[in-house]
């Protein structure tokens, strides 16, 4: 009953959203070269289903790879900042500044630096845009660890590494997953940004671009919906991982 | 009886932005094996600092700390610690929390053996049936009981407690005093207890040390010659009341308020 509700309620919300969309298009009498309506979409999916699978897979693996790199690099950077005050003070302004730079400006820079390396550029952008929240959350999580937590093991002569593995790391997991939920969306945006902007790109972003070039509005909207779907899948994959590895942090609901 | 803890001429100062802050001044304390030493003193006088020095978490500027005839220069596995905050690891069950020190001190110990030891202690403090619960499912008093189990699960020579019952209500606190007494009757260990509750110090202590205001010196040592198998009622005997009076006066002096004005 409860699981049924958990699935049915969001599905109903999505159906309502599509209905309102259809209604607005119909009420305004927009032709599909101004604004496509949901009923235009199935035809686009049927016509291009192979392209959707191929391009969707490209977008997916680049996003996941970029995010994976961001997790590794962000965690390492967060550890450095969490354990060393000097590193924290040195790196923080630099990171904030880097994060503030609009990533769209990096696309031409990367394109010039690594000409023709479309896969590489895309993964790199997904990585660049998404490591910041992870680094910050791990850094803050480690540096704000209450001394008493450390002391219960330190008083027994445990090594720094043991304290990190048994206390600091698991204690930081909820913050880490909080950041990962933000990062996964960012990485996805980064991937699509490069796919859309680069000439001769690949992935769903490029498919969107080709829809635009050909004036195929139903295709463009079909891509947007596919992107939304992929984004949801990625996000809930992170939620699932969080349940598994940091489920203890969920307060029992009273 | 040999002295298990010897604190000889210990002085310590923290380096702060506004210069050194002397906290302990030529402190001398000895605790015989299996005795219970309660330490009271004004807030901020250096009691927590004392626990960190005895456990080897910090080194004193001057003087020496000896445990079991060995000079303490770094943390050692034969010490157990409990704090005012029971610091349970939320990602572990109560049982796994209690077993934590064994993973450090006796990594070669079989899991079943470690579990049996932890379960035994949990049963002794009245937490049987809560082994698989998460810390967030327990009350503050129950968490503190689990914290005590964790502090002694590896059979330390010395248990150092820094106001472990300070955040609990009065009845829970008295329950825990009795739990503490029962634990020590079952397997004796030497205790240092920091407290701000004079009744607690008299109920549990074999000696009560009153520290002066900061920088702390040993201002007064009270020998608690009450029988070992005490009940809460003993606090209402004339002898205990007399002791509480003496301690109260000493605290007043330590706070720099002679004569109770
Ligand atoms: N790490 C530290 N650095 C500087 N000052 C400290 C530090 N720890 C404690 N102090 C100061 O030393 C004094 C004694 O602290 P503490 O030993 O915690 O006192 P108590 O436990 O008796 O209340 C306090 O005034 C406190 O502010
Ligand atoms: Mg204190």
Largest Cα–Cα separation, chain A: 75
Which stretch of DSSP H or E encloses residue B32?
A: strand B19-32
When divided into structural domains, chain A yields a total of 1
pLDDT of residue B141: 92
Residue segments in chain B with a per-residue pLDDT below the cut of 50: 259-261
User: CA-to-CA distance for A109 and B247, rounded, in angstroms?
Assistant: 75
Neighbours of A147 (CB within 10 A): 10
Domain that holds residue B151: 84-156
In a domain, A189, yes or no: yes
Q: Which of residues 96-155 of B touch A (CB under 8 A)?
A: 100-101, 103-105, 134, 136-137, 150, 154
In a domain, B218, yes or no: no
- Check if B2 has its Cβ closer than 6 Å to any atom of ligand 1: no
In a domain, B45, yes or no: no
Over its length of 254 residues, how does chain A's per-residue pLDDT go in tens digits? 788 888 899 899 999 999 999 999 999 988 877 888 888 889 999 999 999 999 999 999 999 999 999 999 999 999 999 888 899 999 989 999 998 998 888 888 888 888 888 899 999 999 999 999 999 999 999 988 888 898 989 999 999 889 999 999 999 999 999 999 999 999 999 999 999 988 778 899 999 999 989 888 889 999 999 999 999 999 999 999 999 999 888 765 54
Are A107 and A93 spatial neighbours (Cβ–Cβ below 8 Å)? no
In a domain, B151, yes or no: yes
pLDDT of residue A34: 80
Of the candidates B124, B103, B132, the one whose C-alpha atom is nearest the C-alpha of residue B183 is B124
- Check if B244 has its Cβ closer than 6 Å to any atom of ligand 1: no
Measured in Å, how far apart are chain B's first and last C-alpha atoms? 42
Largest Cα–Cα separation, chain B: 60
H runs (alpha helix) in chain B: 47-54, 94-105, 111-124, 140-152, 170-186, 198-204, 238-254
pLDDT of residue B257: 67
Distance, in angstroms, between A129 CA and closest chain B CA? Answer: 31
B100 and A152: CB-CB below 8 Å?
yes
In a domain, B70, yes or no: no
| β-bridge partners, B19 | B16
pLDDT of residue A181: 95
When divided into structural domains, chain B yields a total of 1
Are B149 and B122 spatial neighbours (Cβ–Cβ below 8 Å)? yes
In a domain, A12, yes or no: no
pLDDT of residue B256: 82
In a domain, B239, yes or no: no
Threshold 0.90, pTM exceeds: no
Strand order across the B36-40 sheet: B79-83, B158-162, B190-194, B36-40, B207-211, B218-223
User: Taking phi first (over 0 means left), then psi (-120 to 50 degrees means alpha), and beta for anything else, what does residue B17 get?
Assistant: alpha
Name residues whose C-beta falls within 8 Å of residue B124's C-beta, 6 or more positions apart in sequence: B149, B179, B182, B183, B186
Domain that holds residue A116: 55-143+169-246
Geometric angle at alpha carbon A249, from A129 and B161, rounded to 5°: 120
Q: What is the radius of gyration, based on Cα positions, of chain B?
A: 18
B150 and A152: CB-CB below 8 Å?
yes
B55 and A155: CB-CB below 8 Å?
yes
Of the candidates A142, A138, A143, A131, the one whose C-alpha atom is nearest the C-alpha of residue A184 is A131
Please report the DSSP string for B86-154 in residue order. ----TTS-HHHHHHHHHHHH-TTS-HHHHHHHHHHHHHHTT-TT-TTS-GGGS-HHHHHHHHHHHHHTT
Determine the distance from the C-alpha atom of residue B239 to the mean position of all C-alpha atoms in its chain, rounded to a whole number. Answer: 24
In a domain, B138, yes or no: yes
| β-bridge partners, B71 | B66
In a domain, A19, yes or no: no
In a domain, A130, yes or no: yes
In a domain, A76, yes or no: yes
pLDDT of residue B96: 96
B81 and A251: CB-CB below 8 Å?
no
pLDDT of residue B161: 95
Here the CATH number for the domain that contains residue A89 is 1.10.3720.10
Name residues whose C-beta falls within 8 Å of residue A20's C-beta, 6 or more positions apart in sequence: none
Three-state SS at B223: strand
The encoded tokens of residue B122 equal 């949990």
- Closest residue of chain B to A166, computed from CA coordinates: B100
| β-bridge partners, B161 | B82, B193
Closest residue to atom 25 of ligand 1, CA basis: B44
């Amino acid at each position: 009953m409860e699981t049924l509700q958990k699935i049915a309620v969001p599905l109903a919300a999505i159906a309502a959203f599509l209905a309102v969309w259809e209604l607005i298009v119909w009420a305004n009498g927009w032709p599909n070269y101004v604004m496509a309506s949901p009923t235009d979409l199935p035809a686009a999916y049927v016509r291009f289903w192979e392209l959707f699978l191929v391009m969707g897979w490209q977008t997916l693996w680049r996003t996941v790879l970029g995010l994976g790199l961001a997790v590794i690099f962000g965690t390492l950077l967060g550890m450095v900042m969490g354990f060393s005050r000097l590193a924290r003070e040195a790196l923080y302004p630099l990171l904030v500044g880097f994060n503030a730079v609009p990533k769209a400006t990096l696309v031409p820079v990367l394109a010039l630096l690594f000409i023709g390396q479309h896969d590489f550029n895309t993964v790199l952008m997904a990585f660049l845009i998404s490591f910041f929240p992870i680094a910050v959350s791990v850094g803050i999580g480690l540096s704000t660890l209450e001394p008493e937590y450390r002391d219960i093991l330190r008083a027994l002569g445990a090594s720094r590494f043991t304290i990190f593995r048994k206390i600091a790391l698991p204690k930081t997991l909820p913050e880490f997953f909080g950041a990962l939920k933000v990062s996964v969306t960012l990485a996805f945006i980064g991937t699509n940004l490069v796919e859309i902007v680069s000439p001769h790109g690949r992935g769903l972003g490029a498919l969107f671009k080709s829809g635009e070039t050909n004036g195929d509005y139903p295709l463009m909207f079909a891509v947007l919906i596919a992107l939304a779907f992929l984004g949801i899948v990625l996000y809930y994959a992170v939620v699932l991982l969080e349940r598994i590895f940091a489920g203890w942090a969920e307060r029992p609901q009273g | 009886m040999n002295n298990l803890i010897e604190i000889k001429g210990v002085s310590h100062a923290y380096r702060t932005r506004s210069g050194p802050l002397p906290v302990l001044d030529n402190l001398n304390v000895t605790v015989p094996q299996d005795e219970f030493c309660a330490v009271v003193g004004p807030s901020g006088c250096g009691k927590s600092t004392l626990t960190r020095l005895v456990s080897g978490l910090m080194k004193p500027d001057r003087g020496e700390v000896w445990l079991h005839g060995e000079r303490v220069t770094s943390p050692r596995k034969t010490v157990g610690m409990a704090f005012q905050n029971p610091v349970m690891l939320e990602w572990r069950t109560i049982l796994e929390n209690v077993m934590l020190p064994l993973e450090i001190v006796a990594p070669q110990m079989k899991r079943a053996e470690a579990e049996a030891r932890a379960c035994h202690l949990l049963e002794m403090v009245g937490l049987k049936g809560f082994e698989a619960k998460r810390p967030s499912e327990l009350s503050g008093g129950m968490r503190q009981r689990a914290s005590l189990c964790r502090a002694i699960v590896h059979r330390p020579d010395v248990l150092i407690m820094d106001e472990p019952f300070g955040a609990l209500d009065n009845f829970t606190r008295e329950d825990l005093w009795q739990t503490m007494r029962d634990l020590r009757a079952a397997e004796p260990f030497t205790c240092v207890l920091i407290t701000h509750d004079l009744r607690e110090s008299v109920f549990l202590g074999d000696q009560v040390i009153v520290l002066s205001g900061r920088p702390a010196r040993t201002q007064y040592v009270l020998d608690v010659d009450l029988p070992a198998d005490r009940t809460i009622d003993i606090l209402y005997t004339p002898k205990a009341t007399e002791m509480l009076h003496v301690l109260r006066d000493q605290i007043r002096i330590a706070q720099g308020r002679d004569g109770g004005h």
